[in-house]
Amino acid sequence: MCGIVGGVAERCVTEILIEGLKRLEYRGYDSAGLALLNKEQILRERRVGKVANLAEAVSEQHLTGNIGIAHTRWATHGKPTENNAHPHVSGNVAVVHNGIIENYQELKDELQALGYIFTSQTDTEVVAHLVNDALKQTDSLLEAVQKVTPRLKGAYALGIIHTEHADELITVREGSPLVIGVGIGENFISSDQLALLPVTNRFVYLEEGDIARLTRTSIEVFVNGERVDRPVKELDATVSNASKGEYKHFMLKEIYEQPEAIQQTISQALNGNNLREDFLQHANADFNKIQQVQIIACGTSYHAGMIAKYWFEQLIGVPCQVEIASEFRYRTPVIVENTLYICISQSGETADTLAALRETQKRAKANNINISTMTICNVATSSMVRETDHHLLTLAGPEIGVASTKAFTTQLAALMLLIIKIGQVKQRLAAAQLTEITEALWHCPKVILDTLQHNTAILRLSALFVEKNHCLFLGRGTHFPIALEGALKLKEISYIHAEGYAAGELKHGPLALVDNEMPVVILAPNDEMLDKLKSNMEEVQARGGELFVFADENSGIQEKDRQHVVHIPAVNEWLAPIVYSVPVQLLSYHVAVLRGTDVDQPRNLAKSVTVE
Ligand code: M6R
């Protein structure tokens, strides 16, 4: 998705803006640009492709300035061209924008009738012209922006500068993330705090509808024209968290960080084999009341929710529904009393999940229906965390690779902790089961470490996928969502078409696809479905399919002709999906590297999908 960086300082901000944009590259983009104010002039440079292209152009021309805005664009309205790249300029105004202005066509018609010339196909350009136009009635840039925003429909975050206001930067947050980085004698804005970590660890998190004016030494935030206070919060993430270290890609680093990330996530909740007394304590009354759970999420986070459904129902007998947020938000679902609505999201900013949450809250309030809301999230300061009654953080550290890995497995660990908690509050979890699961949770990082030892074997297998065009992933029970997740990973980073299926569905359709060109990945933990899964493997082999099996070391599944096996260490059945995620991540990673794709920033995808 698009990214914004801006700054106002005594020093030149060019390098800070470029470094900020580089740190936003992981979000996905197709062009980049920057505008600086220098001697009452706007110096603008835009380039299609990587930030490196922009950096080269900026350095060749020695562009400098003490105030500036910069942007990475992920094309929505208009192709990825230089003209469509941000910042957009109208007269003395320059604007960067994340999000979508839904009524831009109507505004564009009006502005064209007034004589404004459009040089791009973007929705953003209307904002630049509207602010320029509003400045005919006021000398204040802030007032002009305040006049314009009520006219904009949609979701947006903005950064705006003006040549005659060479000491101020105006920013707006309305439905799209925006933070202010607080420096000493300098201030910054960004759509993602990671971009600003080299310059500050102190942030002001704007709320929806906030408009802020930044100078070098002041930050003023306004809502409906009134000054409001927003606290400054200190972040403990370190700059080094956002570097690849010894790894070739962020994705690989993040795969290897999973043992530690899971350890961190469970340590916040467990004391030995018991839950810490203060773990989600404030939610006890709500958890006691709930009769069922509704999970809302997208992509990989949705797959985590699918696994939690098995756990909620089998372990503690609490009915659980899971739905993709983009469907849930538009289908007017019945809001049921005493339901716990759980959003699962790595970023906490995914537009569909956030909208589904807000819609649910709105309708529950309007109809006086008692519900509770909760977020499972990797970003403590995210919108979802702030807008739900309760939250549980996955302590995975920043996840930069577009393909979600450690965020997924820590979501699973967090969900299991939540289920234990609700099971205890509702007295539905036997002591023996609590001990079994908590012991297994503590053991999980070690089993993942042992599984990572198979990296070379998985790399060897991946060579057999490079020339393939299609692939099937099969699993049963909690490994059906892992099959979906494996297929999602492979398609998003290697661009091989892949489908995940519940193995029992094979003969209801997908078996027709199986021939000797079709690799079939099997997830075979040692559970009560193993014999049935072995029958499914026979069905594939009988049709000439080539099997790639991640099988429990005690499953009895061995290598044979057209059956490749990687033995996964024995693991407690409940937690097996966490461990079996790892080989499918490694497989996708190696196939993608061998195919030469951009692993961390696959084409057309964004890390955080903050627009619809
Ligand atoms: O930040 P979220 O967890 O809400 O993001 C949801 C999906 O966009 C995300 O999981 C996506 O599917 C990943 N790229 C998959 O690897």
CB distance 326 to ligand 1 below 6 Å: no
* Mean pLDDT score, 457-463: 96
Which of 404, 488, 599, 604 for a ligand 1 pocket mutation test, highest count of atoms within 8 Å of Cβ? Answer: 404
Q: What is the pLDDT of residue 234?
A: 86
Among protein residues, the one whose CA lies closest to atom 9 of ligand 1? 299
Would you say residue 359 has pLDDT above 70?
yes
CB distance 346 to ligand 1 below 6 Å: yes
Give the SS3 label for residue 247: coil
Tens of pLDDT, residue by residue over 310-356, are 999 999 999 999 999 999 999 999 999 999 999 999 999 999 999 99
d(CA 564, CA 577): 20
Residue 350 CA to ligand 1 centre (angstroms): 8
Q: What is the pLDDT of residue 21?
A: 96
pLDDT averaged over the chain? 94
Six token digits for residue 347: 């970023």
Q: How far is CA 578 from CA 240, 407, 409, 444, in A?
A: 26, 11, 5, 8
Residue 346 CA to ligand 1 centre (angstroms): 7
CB distance 299 to ligand 1 below 6 Å: yes
Among protein residues, the one whose CA lies closest to atom 12 of ligand 1? 299
Would you say residue 454 has pLDDT above 60?
yes
Would you say residue 240 has pLDDT above 70?
no
CB distance 383 to ligand 1 below 6 Å: no
30-60 in b/e form (b: 16+ CB < 10 A) is bbbbbbbbbeeebbbbbbbebbeebbebbee
CB distance 177 to ligand 1 below 6 Å: no
Helices marked H in 374-452: 383-387, 406-425, 431-452
Residue 249 CA to ligand 1 centre (angstroms): 18
The pLDDT confidence band at residue 246, using thresholds 50, 70 and 90, is: confident
Q: Do the domains 252-447 and 453-595 sit in the same CATH topology, yes or no?
A: yes
Q: What is the pLDDT of residue 338?
A: 97
Q: Inter-axis angle of helices 406-425 and 431-452, to 10 degrees?
A: 170
Query: Is residue 187 within 8 Å of residue 216, measured between CB atoms?
Result: yes
* Mean pLDDT score, 516-521: 94
CB distance 339 to ligand 1 below 6 Å: no
CATH number belonging to domain 3-246: 3.60.20.10
Residue 302 CA to ligand 1 centre (angstroms): 8
Residue 222 CA to ligand 1 centre (angstroms): 32
Would you say residue 91 has pLDDT above 60?
yes
Among protein residues, the one whose CA lies closest to atom 7 of ligand 1? 299
Class of domain 252-447: alpha beta
Q: What is the pTM of this model?
A: 0.77
* Mean pLDDT score, 543-551: 95
Q: Where are the domains of the chain?
A: 3-246, 252-447, 453-595
Tens of pLDDT, residue by residue over 135-164, are 999 999 999 999 999 999 988 999 999 999
Please name the amino acid found at residue 439. E
Residue numbers annotated as active site: 2, 607
Give the SS3 label for residue 256: helix
Tens of pLDDT, residue by residue over 63-90, are 999 999 999 998 878 888 999 999 999 9
CB distance 375 to ligand 1 below 6 Å: no
CATH number belonging to domain 453-595: 3.40.50.10490
* Mean pLDDT score, 256-262: 93
